[in-house]
Amino acid sequence: MIEVAVLHEEGWPGVDWDYLAQRAVAAAIAHSPYAAFASDEALYEIAVKLTSDEEVHSLNRAYRDKDKPTNVLSFPMVQDDLLEVTANTDDGEVLLGDIVLAEGVCIAEAAEKGISVADHATHLIVHGTFHLLGYDHMDDNEAEAMEALEIAALLSMGLSDPYGDRDGV
């Protein structure tokens, strides 16, 4: 079973963020090798925080040594190589990690792409969920594999390929 806790600060557009985050996380997990998490007896928990650029800037500086805000940060709480055995917990709960989105960056990127903030945030939550599941984009092969999963998850929700604009680049 999957549970998503949303911490929502003021300033974000009026959207049902709980529903959006739950749907995005569920789609990402369904399109991963960990699809069974959705029906396991164990409770898999993810926290999604919608916060300010300033807070994300501070986190990005502290944890990634990058002195600027970014659109999304993910903080996995389970090592990649231990994800498959997480259902064997003592208390039946697995904290997969936290996903943090920056309001101003997300809004600006959505406007630049000509899409709604909700659609862009959905993509960022899907992206963040894949990071919590051990995916990364440090090299081209990893990036292509992760992007393919993101695209499949988003298409399953009726959203378009967020990477489609790279064809001419």
Contact 121, 101 (CB under 8 A): yes
For residue 164, being part of any structural domain is answered with no
pLDDT in tens, 123-166: 999 999 999 999 988 888 888 999 999 999 999 999 988 887 65
Report the side by side order of strands in the sheet with 43-51. 2-8, 43-51, 93-102, 72-76
Q: By mean pLDDT, which of 54-63, 80-89, 101-110 is the weakest?
A: 80-89
Domain assignment of residue 167, yes or no: no
- Summarize pLDDT for 26-39 with one digit per residue, the tens: 999 999 999 988 98
Please choose, from the candidates 14, 6, 36, 42, the residue with its C-alpha nearest in 3D space to the C-alpha of residue 128: 6
Is 168 inside a domain boundary? Answer: no
Count CB-CB contacts under 10 A for residue 117.
Answer: 18
CA distance linking residue 82 with residue 20, whole number of Å: 28
Which parts are annotated binding residues for Zn(2+)?
Answer: 127, 131, 137
Known binding residues are: 127, 131, 137
Does a structural domain hold residue 132?
yes
Residue 68: band (very low, low, confident or very high) from pLDDT cuts 50, 70, 90: very high
Q: Residue 13 and residue 65: Cα distance in Å, rounded?
A: 29
Q: Is residue 169 part of a domain?
A: no
Range of the domain at 95: 2-157
CATH code of the domain containing 139? 3.40.390.30
Question: Which pTM was predicted?
Answer: 0.91
- Report how many domains make up the chain: 1
Q: What pLDDT was estimated at residue 11? A: 83
The answer, yes or no, to whether residue 10 has pLDDT greater than 50, is: yes
Distance CA 34, CA 28 (A): 9
Tell me if 29 is assigned to some domain.
yes
User: Identity (one letter) of the amino acid at 133?
Assistant: L
Phi, psi of 79 (to 5 degrees): -65, 145
Across the chain, what does the average pLDDT equal? 89
Residue 106 lies in a domain: yes
The answer to whether residue 148 is domain-embedded is: yes
